[in-house]
């Protein structure tokens, strides 16, 4: 999977699941809004990832890492007193963020031009 597609999938899942959670809950919570903002930010950086603009790829990697850590934090806090659907609503975005992070990191290393010493 290319970095562009992985980032797009990650952005859509982050935004989509968080919107679904926001609409389905009686009281809207801040963690859902944070994931939605992260997904929209990744969606706005998607063309830069597609064309390999280094600053935008770096920003997408950082946002993906933040979303992985944030989802882990949320799942850790909800493990004891929550239903399975709420936990899955944070596990799935965490997994897609991790896969996008790996894809963008591997894609960046593969695209690097050879150094002058080689």
Most confidently modeled range among 24-38, 51-65, 104-118: 51-65
Dist CA 102 CA 86 (whole Å): 25
Q: pLDDT category, 34, cuts 50, 70, 90?
A: very high
Q: Is the pLDDT of residue 29 over 80?
A: no
Q: What is the pTM of this model?
A: 0.83
Task: Give the angle subtended at the CA of 5 by the CAs of 87 and 41, to the nearest 5°.
Answer: 65
CB atoms within 10 A of CB 97: 30
Domain positions in the chain: 3-110
Which is more confident, 18 or 111? Answer: 18
Span 71-99, pLDDT tens digits: 998 888 777 665 666 677 888 999 999 99
């Amino acid at each position: 999977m290319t970095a562009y597609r992985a980032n797009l999938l990650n952005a859509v899942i982050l935004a989509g699941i968080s919107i679904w959670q926001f609409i389905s809950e009686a009281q809207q919570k801040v963690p859902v809004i944070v994931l939605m903002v992260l997904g929209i930010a990744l969606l706005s950086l998607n063309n830069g990832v597609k064309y390999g603009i280094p600053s935008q790829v770096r920003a997408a990697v950082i946002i993906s890492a933040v979303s992985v850590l944030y989802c882990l934090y949320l799942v850790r806090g909800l493990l004891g007193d929550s239903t399975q659907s709420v936990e899955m609503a944070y596990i799935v975005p965490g997994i897609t963020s991790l896969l996008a992070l790996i894809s963008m990191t591997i894609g960046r290393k593969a695209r690097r031009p050879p150094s002058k010493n080689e």
